[in-house]
Amino acid sequence: MALRHRHVIKTLSMSSRLKLLQNSGTKKFESKQLSTAHPTNLIGAVCIERYPVITATKTKLEERFSNLLSQIELEKSHYSDHEVRLMREKKNVKSKTDEEETHAEAQTGLDLEDKWDAELKAFQPASRETEADRKKDRQSLERQLDSCLYLVIKQNINGKDHWILPQISWQEGENLRQTAERALASIGGNIKATFLGNAPCGVAKFEPDKIFFFKAWYRDGQVILNKDFAKDYLWLTRNELSQYCFPTYSKNIKKFIPPF
Amino acid sequence: MALNMVLSALKQTAKLNIIACKFHTQVTPLLFQTSQLLWAEPMKKKKRIDPSVIAAREAKKIRRIEKEIKRLTKFGRILKPIEEVEIDNRKYRLALERKRPLPKLTAEEKDYRDLLIKEWGAYKSYQWHWEAKIMDQLTEAQQEALDELKQESLELYQAALQIDYSCVPIEFQGPKETPPKKDYPAPDGEYVDTTRKY
């Protein structure tokens, strides 16, 4: 209770402080942290995730168990209308041969089955492996449909090219989520992504930089790279990240990128 | 003599008093008048009903109510049937007829099934623990980020703590077995409402 009370007081004082800052008449409350001479360089980065489109391939055990379940389900089921019809027709055929009657039904159950088979064959579901998978096109969003993809870009940092998540320096007057949103906007193209919350999902420290990562859920659009911002881009899975990124960097970002 | 005169004078005044009571003191009369009713419908002749008929009618009414009470007490309240709970007799018989004969499992098959179920249980429990561990790691990473942010700037920290109401409610559409086909015209279906009305 006391803790919560303190928290309320803190937030109140925060908002009043911010208000005073906006008015900018009094500089009494301006905190040290917000002054321009920042000891560490704050950076906001965006981790754009494309969620899986298709289910993951079943493991051998999952496959076996799923077969067993459907087997048990079949054993415990009752005969369906169609099965009853088939059995009745079979019986009728037998009796017909005895009595030599010759009026058959217009459409037997077997005929129907043939029709259904033909209909099923006519429908071809889209392949789970796409064109991009076959071509190993890592810039396409149509690749690796059964796993998450993350957008990484190639940027020159301190004279060296690095594969990183899109990032941009924090500017005064915005919160870090807005910085990350700016990073997303400066990639170029028409990517629409939903930011999931105001809190960063992870942090990486490279003195004097401190990078705060925000997760965004990819919805729609394509990357048309802004050449001033980055040299190249790729959509990678979690496992591919370490092939491109700097080891410590990939280690840091894998803390908040789950392996499923 | 004198007494006589006094008495007569008293009588006179008494008479005068009585007369005075019969006059009102207002100068102008009130002049209340009633106009004649000329537009009204002529009064109907009241029908006379035979009291025996009235009695019969009452009895009929009472009988009807009694009948209704009898019916209600016989059946109780008429309730809406719950289709999921009630077993349709016809369907029940049908279910018996349509029973699929259970195959006789060999000992090997039985063992295989039991072992597979056990293996599955172990696999799922391992998977659950693995996922829980990763969830812990994710929250830890976020907490670390928030702690670092708090060290840098309280303002930014407070901004990060704000709840993003645009995130709730959020809707996800799960992964499918196969990817969507481009330009596939979905076949039209029909919607038939089979809910019974009561």
Rounded CA separation A141/A131 (Å): 11
A36 pLDDT higher than 60: no
Q: How many residues does chain A have?
A: 260
Largest Cα–Cα distance of chain B, in whole Å? Answer: 158
pLDDT at B17 (0 to 100): 53
Tokens of A235: 């959509």
Contact A78 B98 (CB under 8 A): yes
| CB-CB under 8 Å, B134 with A200 | no
Q: Assess whether pLDDT exceeds 60 at residue A191.
A: yes
| A210 interfacial to chain B (CB closer than 8 Å) | yes
Cβ–Cβ of B175/A51 closer than 8 Å?
Answer: yes
Strands (E) located in A118-256 = 149-157, 160-164, 167-169, 192-195, 202-206, 209-220, 232-236
Spans of chain B, pLDDT less than 70:
1-26, 29, 37, 77-78, 198
Does the distance separating the beta carbons of B176 and A54 come in below 8 Å? yes
Q: How far apart are the first and last CA of chain A?
A: 39
For residue B54, the model assigns a pLDDT of: 92
Judged by a CB distance cut-off of 8 A, whether residue B104 touches chain A is no
pLDDT on residue B192: 85
Task: Dig out the tokens for A178 from the structure.
Answer: 């807005």
- Per CB-CB distance under 8 Å, the chain A contacts of B175 are 51-56, 146
pLDDT at A226 over 90: no
Confidence check: pLDDT of A96 > 80: no
Q: Higher-confidence residue: B180 or A38? A: B180
Which residues, 6+ apart, have CB-to-CB distance to B160 below 8 Å?
A175, A176, A177, A198, A199, A200, B146, B149
Q: Which residue has the higher pLDDT, B17 or A191?
A: A191
Strand A41-50 relative to strand A209-220: parallel, antiparallel, unpaired? parallel
* pTM: predicted TM-score of the whole model, two decimal places: 0.65
Residue A99 or residue A180, greater confidence? A180
B71: its two tokens: 């019916």
Q: Between A119 and A15, where is the model more confident?
A: A119
For residue A5, the model assigns a pLDDT of 45
A154 burial class (0-12, 13-18, 19+ CB within 10 angstroms)? middle
Q: Report the SS3 class of residue B138.
A: helix
- Residue A19: per-residue pLDDT: 42
Q: Regarding predicted confidence, which is higher, A106 or B150?
A: B150
- Answer whether B160 sits within 8 Å of A199, measured CB to CB: yes
Distance CA B43, CA A37 (A): 107
pLDDT at A28: 37
Name beta bridge partners: A161: A156
Strand-pair partners of A236: A150
Residues of A within 8 A of B120 (CB-CB) are 61, 65
Residue-wise pLDDT for B37-62, tens only, equals: 677 777 788 888 888 999 999 999 99
Cβ atoms of A26 and A38 within 8 Å: the answer is no
CB contact under 8 Å between B141 and A256, yes or no, is yes
Q: Rounded mean pLDDT of A125-134? A: 86
For chain A, the average pLDDT equals 80
Q: Where are the alpha helices (DSSP H) in A136-237?
A: 176-186
Is A3 a residue whose pLDDT tops 90?
A: no
The pLDDT confidence band at residue A1, using thresholds 50, 70 and 90, is: very low
Q: Which residues are CB-contacts of A157 (< 8 A; sequence separation ≥ 6)?
A: A164
Identity (one letter) of the amino acid at B183? Answer: D
Structure ipTM: 0.72
Average pLDDT value for residue range A39-54: 89
Q: Which of A220, A232, A58, A53 is nearest to A128 (CA)?
A: A53
Q: What is the pLDDT of residues A192-221, one digit of tens each?
A: 899 988 999 999 988 888 899 999 999 888
A42 contact B CB<8A: yes
pLDDT of A107 over the 60 cut: yes
Under 8 Å between Cβ of A18 and B153: no
pLDDT tens digits, B145-176:
999 899 888 888 998 898 888 888 888 888 98
Report the pLDDT value the prediction gives residue B129, as an integer from 0 to 100: 96
Strand partners, A194: A217
CA distance B95 to chain A (A): 7
**Nearest-neighbour CA in chain A from B197: distance (Å):** 27
Q: What is the pLDDT of residue A27?
A: 37
As a whole number of angstroms, the distance between CA A189 and CA A182 comes to: 13
Contact status of A78 with chain B (Cβ, < 8 Å): yes
* Lowest-confidence pick of A23-27, A57-61, B10-14, B104-108: A23-27
